[in-house]
Structure 1
Amino acid sequence: MAHTIRTPGIVAGRLAEDVLAENFSDLHPPLDAHEAHVAADRCYFCHDAPCITACPTDIDIPLFIRQITTGTPLAAGKTILEQNILGGMCARVCPTETLCEEACVREMAEGKPVEIGRLQRFATDALMAHGPQPFSRAAATGKSVAVVGAGPAGLACAHRLAMHGHNVVIYEKRDKPGGLNEYGIASYKTVNGFAQAEVDWLLDIGGIDIRYGQALGHDVTLDQLSDAHDAVFLGIGKTGVNRLDGFDLDGIRPAVDFIADLRQTDDLSTLPVGRHVVVIGGGMTAVDAAVQSRLLGAESVTIVYRRAQSEMPASRYEQDLATSKGVTLVFNAQPVSANGAGAVESVTFEYTATNGSGLKGTGERFDLPADQVFLAIGQVLEDAPDALTRKGAALAADAGHRTSLANVWAGGDCSAEGEDLTVTAVAQGRDAAEAIHKSLMGEGGPANG
């Protein structure tokens, strides 16, 4: 349900419907067969390919690109999906510019890498359009695994467990699967309902049941899951958001909520946006919220990040995308106060500088007009059972993703202290499934902790 706004400057329908449709069309249109062949021909097919090392899911990139050049895109798609069952989505949203493409020899030699991400999309789209997935279930093991969360980590874990012949029940608190892919990514990166289409395709393997409206700690407990299943995997993400003291005026809200509303609306012309939008934060969520605000018709949008541009979590590509859409980036400035009588009218910032003792305010301040403010300053782990040991802001898990409880594994954002990426979550879910399978078959090691 859309957030109720009582700020006069925030209204829906700033742009005509045809303009909105154009603004939110596919950011990178797919390659056709000829374009894919031309792009693939640039690959050197390195023997010790650095792009593979840079890929969190270890896709054999030279192999799938060679398969494209030989006219077998379906084989290329299978090569990708064997390692990353959500390879279609990752091709659309993965920051390839800082992962595989940054490591590409062509990038280092010429400053222009092989377009690995677009080639991956070409191959996975071809395979998905061809028909049923090329993966099947092994003979039934009689074992049952609970997966909590139908996001990238949970889906990848569930699919790999199903391939091994286990029965899987996914417990999802929302009414749709997909997690971050469905609710948390800019809509111009994944158009035409691709997130749900990919989930439907994944579930065709069979043996996976999704139960919606099942929130851990509210509708179902970890003890209940442990009693009902042979193992449990937690892919619950980080659903809480960091907030700023004093930033409670109307017109201020978490950026993730704005993005979720946008992703779920059937009519963009009904989504309210301010005239002057300020986004506080420096990650991908900040960029997604800012760019989409501009695409909805905001007159001015400014991202304010407290550190230097070189330290901004969002890649330089994402930063350049934002500026190309008319977003202003301000660095080395931290929020001081939100100003207004009931509804936000401006935000006061203070310039920052880094010295030997860390980030400090300089005392120099400035105001930005704002009738809508999005906070994109990080998310926190919520709803994690107290019985599980934590490591910092995440669940503690060993190299095989087993938690401090012997029959419970975890992966994705809830157990990752670093960058929150779809591709990393997929890798952890897949690898946790392999560890669970070995444990259920009597090959697993002892629980840690």
Structure 2
Amino acid sequence: MASDTNLKSASATFAEPDIRSGRLAATDYAAGFSAAVPSLDQQAALIESNRCYYCYDAPCIEACPTGIDIPGFIRKIATGNTAGAALRIYEQNIFGGSCARVCPTEILCEHSCVRMAEEGKPIPIGLLQRYATDHGTPANQHPFARAASTGKRIAVVGGGPAGLACAHRLAMQGHDVTVFEAREKLGGLNSYGVAEYKVPHGYASHEIEFILGIGGITVRTGMSLGRDITLSGLRRDFEAVFLGLGLSGVKALDCAGEQLSGVMNAVDYIAELRQAKDLAKLPVGRRVVVIGGGNTAIDMAVQIKRLGAEEVTLVYRRGAESMSATEHEQAFAKENGVVIRHWAQPLRLEGEAGHVRRAVFEHTMLDQDGRLVGSGEQFALEADMVFKAIGQVFVADPLRDDGRDLLVLKQGRIAADAEGRTSLDKVWAGGDCVTGGQDLTVAAVQAGKLAADAIHRTLVQRAAA
């Protein structure tokens, strides 16, 4: 076991932190951040769609959080009706295009595919959905028309997938919706958090324009709950309120050295990357350590490697099977040159002249009761940059009014029923901000859709009373 004395004495031999921009040739940036998975061409789409059994009681539908009629849209591709396939998808998931790119289909619909059980090779549902939405979406015409105006005004707080799915559904039902978004752009994680090689920024912007094309949706960006608007004020001015706030806080490592320069939140760096007009200007370390085991950690590690970092090590406190990132994501990271080290937790971050120089870890293990504990054995990784990606948390402060909690929270998030109803009249919530919320775009879309239907039914019932 290495002693603290030996670990610290070694720091004097380290070179200056190697952080700079423009590590790659100009052409390498475009190649590294284009779509990681190529799309299907027409012939491949026809071949794959004809492999489908078009099951009557399709297990893939049950596995899809939004309940897309998967055999139905695949059959339409097989018959050459790509526009009809896209419409079938959008009926249940207006974010069908981005979900085709980011959904972990390998553990959802494709995992349940009958072909998977028979042959070990499922129908590539995600790629077929991408093909349909890319080639079957009308260029200048929204596929759905608004119902007659109800005259009802509804506020949606949060312009991510949950909020926009809710807003679209309500607008289609004839309500007037105002979306309040704290940031400068809509899209949530699709615009700020998902890896660029999964959902390119141009695609995210295009999809938002498509969704807003239904009409009846007013957008107000730069409007933060608790600063520019209040929940009490929204309840006063609107017939209903939907909260799609996401998770705005980042978990701390709670170890010494966390405030050193060069130690960053992965979500902040990814957001900067997603909005960068020139990737060559982003600061990139030669030796990078990423701490975490979820999709954000994987996305961070792969993207910094594609930006030119020489050594990227992802460290997770448990085994590979416990990582929330799927086996597919873990394999993709390794294919991109990321080293993944399991069973280690951060002890401290050490630096010189105020900048991080190394990350010291302790090997972990499970005790007799199955609890994670430190083994006492340590190791250190040289690092010019360290990224924290151990999870995000819900920040409840904006929900308070004069120091009073307006909503009941459970397990640190908003308590809501299956349709998004909260403890407060006229207020619904969905997505990651509610108890039990999943870190999946498709789950957020479904939460927004279900809440919209519940809001619509409530308003109709109240009008008839």
Counterpart amino acid of residue 427 in structure 1: Q
Counterpart CA distance in 2 for 1:435 and 1:161 is 10
Q: CA deviation at 1:9?
A: 1.5
Q: CA deviation at 1:442?
A: 1.1
Question: In the alignment, which residue of structure 2 is the partner of 1:31?
Answer: 40
Counterpart CA distance in 2 for 1:357 and 1:332 is 14
Matches within 5 A, 1:55-204: 55-191=64-200, 193-204=202-213
Q: Establish whether residue 22 from structure 1 lines up as the match of residue 31 from structure 2.
A: yes
- Match of 1:366, SS? strand
Match of 1:255 among 260, 263, 266: 266
Counterpart CA distance in 2 for 1:443 and 1:121 is 40
Identity %: 55
Counterpart CA distance in 1 for 2:27 and 2:379 is 37
Do the aligned partners of 2:201 and 2:274 also contact (CA within 8 Å) in 1? no
Q: Establish whether residue 375 from structure 1 lines up as the match of residue 394 from structure 2.
A: no
Counterpart amino acid of residue 399 in structure 1: A
Match of 1:366 among 379, 388, 400: 379
Question: In the alignment, which residue of structure 2 is the partner of 1:399?
Answer: 418
Q: CA deviation at 1:131?
A: 3.3
Unaligned runs of 5+ in 2: 1-15, 400-404
Q: Deviations over 1:357-414 (max 9, x none)?
A: 5111111111011110110011011144121111102100012210000100000110
Question: In the alignment, which residue of structure 2 is the partner of 1:346?
Answer: 358
Counterpart CA distance in 1 for 2:384 and 2:322 is 28
Larger radius of gyration: 2
Question: In the alignment, which residue of structure 1 is the partner of 2:303?
Answer: 292
Q: CA deviation at 1:419?
A: 2.9
Counterpart amino acid of residue 373 in structure 1: V
Counterpart CA distance in 1 for 2:140 and 2:323 is 41
- Match of 1:83, SS? coil
Between 134-143 and 380-389, report the one with greater CA deviation: 380-389
Question: In the alignment, which residue of structure 2 is the partner of 1:49?
Answer: 58
Counterpart CA distance in 1 for 2:313 and 2:212 is 41
Do the aligned partners of 1:128 and 1:201 also contact (CA within 8 Å) in 2? no
Counterpart CA distance in 1 for 2:264 and 2:245 is 22
Q: Deviations over 1:73-131 (max 9, x none)?
A: 11010000000000000001111111111111112222211100010011111232543
Counterpart CA distance in 2 for 1:351 and 1:77 is 49
- Match of 2:71, SS? helix
Between 252-261 and 36-45, report the one with greater CA deviation: 36-45
TM-score normalised over the length of structure 1: 0.96
Do the aligned partners of 1:231 and 1:407 also contact (CA within 8 Å) in 2? yes
TM-score normalised over the length of structure 2: 0.92
- Match of 1:220, SS? coil
Distance 1:70 1:174, change over 3 A: same
- Match of 2:43, SS? helix
Distance 1:357 1:315, change over 3 A: closer
Do the aligned partners of 2:230 and 2:398 also contact (CA within 8 Å) in 1? no
Q: Establish whether residue 390 from structure 1 lines up as the match of residue 415 from structure 2.
A: no
Between 125-134 and 408-417, report the one with greater CA deviation: 125-134
Q: CA deviation at 1:443?
A: 6.5
Counterpart CA distance in 2 for 1:261 and 1:416 is 28
Question: In the alignment, which residue of structure 2 is the partner of 1:432?
Answer: 451
Counterpart CA distance in 1 for 2:300 and 2:242 is 31
Match of 2:336 among 311, 325, 331: 325
Counterpart CA distance in 2 for 1:404 and 1:285 is 31
Structure 1 segments (4+ residues) deviating >3 Å: none
Match of 1:233 among 214, 239, 242: 242
- Match of 2:284, SS? coil
Do the aligned partners of 1:393 and 1:417 also contact (CA within 8 Å) in 2? no
Q: Deviations over 1:122-169 (max 9, x none)?
A: 111123254312101100001010000000000000000001100000
Distance 1:313 1:361, change over 3 A: same
Do the aligned partners of 1:89 and 1:195 also contact (CA within 8 Å) in 2? yes
Q: CA deviation at 1:191?
A: 2.2
Matches within 5 A, 1:414-433: 414-433=433-452
- Match of 1:415, SS? coil
Q: CA deviation at 1:21?
A: 1.1
Q: CA deviation at 1:257?
A: 0.5
Between 258-267 and 244-253, report the one with greater CA deviation: 244-253
Match of 1:306 among 287, 304, 317: 317
Do the aligned partners of 2:430 and 2:437 also contact (CA within 8 Å) in 1? no
Counterpart CA distance in 1 for 2:446 and 2:75 is 23
Counterpart amino acid of residue 298 in structure 1: A
Do the aligned partners of 1:77 and 1:124 also contact (CA within 8 Å) in 2? yes
Counterpart CA distance in 2 for 1:314 and 1:145 is 36
Question: In the alignment, which residue of structure 1 is the partner of 2:19?
Answer: 10
Between 251-260 and 189-198, report the one with greater CA deviation: 189-198
Q: CA deviation at 1:231?
A: 0.3
Do the aligned partners of 2:49 and 2:128 also contact (CA within 8 Å) in 1? yes
Between 352-361 and 141-150, report the one with greater CA deviation: 352-361
